[in-house]
Structure 1
Amino acid sequence: MEFPSESRQLCHGISFSHYEPAPSLSLRRDSQWSHESLSVNRTLRLQVSDLKFCLGYITMNPDGSRNNFPCPKNKAVRTGSQCDRCRRLDHSKFMHHFHTTGEAPAGMRKYLEQPHFLYVASFAHGATKVGTTSTQSKWSRLAQQGAVVARYIAGAADGAAIRVLEDLITEHVGLGQQVRQKSKVKGLTSWELNLASLDEINDAAAAEARSFLSAQRGLETYGIELRDEQWEQPEYAQRVVEAWDAHSLHPWDQEIADNQFNIRVRGVLGQTIMVDSGPATTLRLIDAAELKTHELDVADERGDFHEEQSALF
């Protein structure tokens, strides 16, 4: 189903930069981008549409830079974030198979052949994964994923070599390469673990993966160097981790789609926003992945909030 798009502002999720003091909601109206800061203590009114829309597709230029195109047909979608046509046009699909097939457009090949890092990331419910990131997104990749604890375990001048190692660790060490967003959010509000125990889980998994890699011959031939470097959380994410560690977080208790609500931002971890409704109210987590693909209007909210008093604060 196609819809006119002249005035539709779609949410593309939360974006991060190491050089910005706060993450932001990325919004696009046709080809025009805007970014709404999620700075701590900012009070907002969010109005979310019912329908979901295709977010378009990415192509790579010969120099490795990227283009982000809106959906030409402005199609509504039921699942995912792309229509079939945009999925076919998207160059990012080559990223996950280039190291085995060698097939990718010149721009994606240029991107994949730059230096990359291998990391082990753990999330609040204990799920631990292996992943890769380029030099330019070394920090932001883990911020975007919402890792609670993470360690870099290797680096290489060629991203294809790093992806080969990623597959080997999945096969021989048993670390998967994906963790579902909903399970990340559920883990933050289920209180099964604490930060100390999760750090032990991550440290042990990283050590096992690094030990496996150190036993492989010829790594230096491909410019691969083992590392033991812990990723550092930004302050606004530390606030969420501390609230989780103190068993103070609760699930968001309203519908997201086709709704309007007021929030005060208290922290951001990955694609989750920790909010309350004013002083001495309950800390809750909004899954910002549920905002993605929807029309979203954002405005600063003035005046009082109204919510029950929290027994925890």
Structure 2
Amino acid sequence: MDLASVSRQLCHGISFSQHEPAPMLRLRTGENWNTEYLELNRSLNLEVGDLKFCLGYITMNRDGSRNVLPCPKNKALRTGTQCESCRRLDHSKFMHHFHKTGEAPEGMRKYLEQPHFLYIASFAHGATKVGTTSTQSQWTRLAQQGAVIARYIARANDGTAIRVLEDLVTEHVGLSQQVRQKSKIKGLVGWELDHQQLDTINEQAANQARDFLATQRGLENYGVQLLDQLWEQPSFARPVIEAWDTRSLHAWSSTVPGSRHTLRIRGVLGQSIMADSGEGTTLRLLDAAELKTREVDLSEEHGEFQEEQSALF
């Protein structure tokens, strides 16, 4: 066995839980997980590798719980987060097509049997999407995606029905089901809109999608209930949104992969970390999706450190 691959600490991105004190950077070495809490005002050194590696695959247990298994071959990647072998083994791919094919492992069927919600989420540059989430992921799903504003517009007794509605909204209202991470980051540092303008965009899209669904017959037969419920942003995301709204948030000025970074955490929004270098220094946004699939070594930073210099100077 390749000893380097066994000791390689790969980043699986930022995860969220209402039962944890802060967002968590999830790191894995072989079978062992390490959780680093991204607490406000914590100062860190990050050593980020240049190469990308497969993060493995997900299988579902019969009770609907899941396992995250490492890549058997620890394969290097050019793009994405999985090698072709792990993509074939991954059960989560059935989630997006089950309402069309009826094909899924028993554990995934169990997961999809629980109530699900339909939401409309908007991001800083105005891109707005429709999406679904289970009851158990109702809060964490939008936190993980980095939505700036979101509204729940429907609830169904199972995930199959809610995914049918999602496709209908995409087809007839024109809302996408995906927004690229790079565009989310660009919007937060681009200052094209403010919070009030984005709220109007989100509210109009939610109303349009809900009005369309209200015209569909037989929704009650599938346990569908239309909603008008604003999603509440987590406290650690609010400083990022405020910095964007006041146009005081700037782009990270150096390449993240293959580099060492020193930062003080000032907020977390989805897969992005807002950081500065101490009191009165520039607020910058690190795209934490650049950490995912790469080796990351993390250590505490003590004392004062120099502010990262802008590439413009």
TM-score tier by shorter-chain length is over 0.9
Partner of 1:36: 36
* Alpha-carbon separation, structure 1, partners of 2:3 and 2:243: 42
Deviations, residues 167-218 of structure 1 (Å, cap 9, x unaligned): 0000000001000000000000000000001000000100010000111110
* Alpha-carbon separation, structure 2, partners of 1:259 and 1:192: 30
The residue type paired with residue 119 of structure 2 is Y
Kept in 1: contact 2:13–2:26 (CA 8 A): yes
2:74 matched to 1:74?
yes
Cα drift, residue 139 of structure 1: 0.2
Cα drift, residue 303 of structure 1: 1.6
* Alpha-carbon separation, structure 2, partners of 1:186 and 1:3: 39
Kept in 1: contact 2:10–2:27 (CA 8 A): yes
The residue type paired with residue 101 of structure 2 is T
Comparing 125-134 and 107-116, the one that deviates more: 107-116
Cα drift, residue 114 of structure 1: 1.0
The residue type paired with residue 246 of structure 1 is T
Partner of 2:141: 141
Equivalent runs, 1:135-214 vs 2, <5 Å: 135-214=135-214
Partner of 1:306: 306
Cα drift, residue 38 of structure 1: 0.5
* Alpha-carbon separation, structure 2, partners of 1:185 and 1:3: 36
Cα drift, residue 24 of structure 1: 1.0
Cα drift, residue 4 of structure 1: 4.0
Cα drift, residue 261 of structure 1: 1.3
Gaps of 5+ in 2: none
Deviations, residues 53-106 of structure 1 (Å, cap 9, x unaligned): 000000001110101100000111110000110010000111110000000111
Determine helix, strand or coil for the equivalent of 1:40: coil
* Alpha-carbon separation, structure 2, partners of 1:307 and 1:268: 19
* Alpha-carbon separation, structure 1, partners of 2:235 and 2:61: 35
* Alpha-carbon separation, structure 1, partners of 2:305 and 2:68: 37
Deviations, residues 269-303 of structure 1 (Å, cap 9, x unaligned): 00000000111111000000000000001111112
**Structure 2-normalised TM-score?**
0.97
Partner of 1:93: 93
CA root-mean-square deviation: 1.2
Deviations, residues 242-281 of structure 1 (Å, cap 9, x unaligned): 0000000110011111111110000000000000011111
Partner of 1:261: 261
**Count of equivalent residues:** 309
Partner of 1:217: 217
* Alpha-carbon separation, structure 1, partners of 2:8 and 2:309: 37
Determine helix, strand or coil for the equivalent of 1:207: helix
Cα drift, residue 144 of structure 1: 0.1
Cα drift, residue 305 of structure 1: 1.2
Kept in 1: contact 2:253–2:309 (CA 8 A): no
Determine helix, strand or coil for the equivalent of 1:143: helix
Determine helix, strand or coil for the equivalent of 1:136: helix
The residue type paired with residue 83 of structure 2 is C
Gaps of 5+ in 1: none
Cα drift, residue 158 of structure 1: 1.0
Compared CA separation, residues 144 and 308, structure 1 to 2 (3 A): closer
* Alpha-carbon separation, structure 2, partners of 1:238 and 1:164: 33
* Alpha-carbon separation, structure 2, partners of 1:174 and 1:7: 46
**Structure 1-normalised TM-score?**
0.97
* Alpha-carbon separation, structure 2, partners of 1:21 and 1:194: 29
Cα drift, residue 21 of structure 1: 2.3
Cα drift, residue 5 of structure 1: 1.9
Kept in 1: contact 2:253–2:308 (CA 8 A): no
Determine helix, strand or coil for the equivalent of 1:280: coil
